[in-house]
């Protein structure tokens, strides 16, 4: 399994996202310029220029026509995927940390960071079919959780919003009223900042990764803890195979401590775990710094990782990967 090395960013990667067809890969980094690549050969297709700060997150619509990006420049932008042009800019008073289109792409959930006297918030925006009719107003704004909200995603049928962040609590909100429906249990939940959250392909369960050196699998409707995967390092990114019962965790020690260790000792590998048995089944080495982003191709036959080192590594699995037995 020789990785394809994709060098297009000059700063650490922050987020990776495949489109639904799995033929395009979108990458966000701290260098202000989201980039789109061909997912089969890693060729760079184009960039989206216009942000003025680190880009923390992105999402792409179901038909691969629209891209939405959230940045530290306190804006969220909508882009035409093919042309690379900006369609609309939402302005906030604080950095935008996470964005996700709803099922049907008619809504987007956006989280903003605490900044000056503003607290963190979850915003729901209506996304117009025609960009000329797009408006700035929020359908719903949820405030409440203390500290930064690192991820907010839509629950089944867009009825709920699931959020997680610095206070280590996963919360499920009603997406119509903004009412808090459920919180993860202090005992079974994470002990430190939750860095990442990813949903299963069918939306029935989701995986959270945390700086407490673990990832946890939860039931989406009941918020029951199903599995815990423990590792020796903080987890910055998590991904789930849509094809096999595998979860992947990526991380490494803090970027500030990186220079003191050799890249093999620095534990900068993507670790594969058996989803059911919670046992480690393998690892993929290669990055020279912590892994900040992971994504699985929707066909489950390849995955990509983005690191603090500015590289995106695209891995197409060998045939023997599909026959791993424990």
pLDDT, tens only, 210-256: 999 999 999 999 999 999 999 999 999 999 999 999 999 998 876 56
The model's pLDDT over 67-111, given as tens digits with 9 standing for 90+, comes to: 999 999 999 999 999 999 999 999 999 999 999 999 999 999 999
Which pTM does this prediction carry? 0.94
* pLDDT the model gives residue 265: 52
Cα distances (angstroms) measured from residue 137 to each of 18, 140, 142, 209, 321: 28, 9, 14, 32, 47
Contacts of 168 (CB under 8 A, 6+ apart): 189, 190, 191, 192, 193, 194, 210, 212
The mean pLDDT value for 297-321 works out to 96
What is the rounded CA–CA span in Å between residue 256 and residue 66? 36
What is the rounded CA–CA span in Å between residue 284 and residue 313? 10
> 126: which strand partners?
107
Cα torsion 89, 92, 98, 104 to 10°: value is -50
What is the rounded CA–CA span in Å between residue 116 and residue 108? 25
User: Percent of the chain scored above 90 by pLDDT?
Assistant: 90
The mean pLDDT value for 197-220 works out to 97
């Amino acid at each position: 399994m020789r990785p394809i090395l994709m060098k297009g960013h000059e700063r650490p990667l922050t987020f990776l996202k495949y489109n639904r067809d799995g033929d395009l890969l979108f990458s966000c980094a701290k260098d202000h310029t989201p980039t789109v690549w061909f997912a089969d050969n890693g060729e760079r297709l184009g960039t989206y220029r216009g942000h003025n700060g680190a880009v923390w997150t992105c999402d792409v619509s179901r038909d691969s026509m629209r891209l939405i990006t959230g940045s530290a420049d306190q804006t969220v932008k909508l882009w035409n995927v093919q042309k690379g042009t900006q369609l609309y800019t939402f302005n906030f008073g604080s950095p935008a940390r996470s964005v996700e289109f709803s099922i049907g792409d008619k809504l987007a959930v956006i989280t903003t960071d605490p900044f000056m006297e503003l607290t963190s918030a979850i915003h729901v925006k209506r996304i117009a079919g025609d960009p000329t009719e797009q408006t700035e107003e929020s359908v719903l704004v949820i405030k409440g959780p203390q500290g930064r909200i690192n991820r907010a995603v839509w629950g089944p049928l867009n009825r709920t919003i699931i959020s997680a962040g610095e206070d280590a609590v996963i919360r499920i909100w009603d997406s119509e009223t903004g009412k808090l429906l459920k919180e993860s249990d202090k005992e079974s939940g994470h002990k430190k900042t939750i860095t990442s959250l990813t949903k299963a392909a069918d939306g029935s369960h989701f995986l959270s990764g945390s700086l407490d050196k673990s990832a946890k699998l939860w039931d989406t409707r009941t918020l029951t803890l199903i599995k815990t995967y423990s590792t020796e390092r903080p987890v910055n990114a998590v991904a789930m195979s849509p094809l096999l019962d595998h979860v992947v965790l990526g991380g490494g020690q803090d970027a500030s401590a990186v220079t003191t260790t050799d890249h093999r000792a620095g534990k900068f590998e993507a670790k594969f775990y058996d989803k059911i048995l919670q046992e480690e089944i393998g690892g993929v080495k290669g990055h020279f710094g912590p892994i900040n982003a992971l994504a699985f191709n929707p066909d489950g036959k390849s995955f990509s990782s983005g690191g603090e080192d500015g590289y995106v590594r695209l891995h197409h699995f060998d045939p023997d990967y599909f026959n791993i037995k424990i």
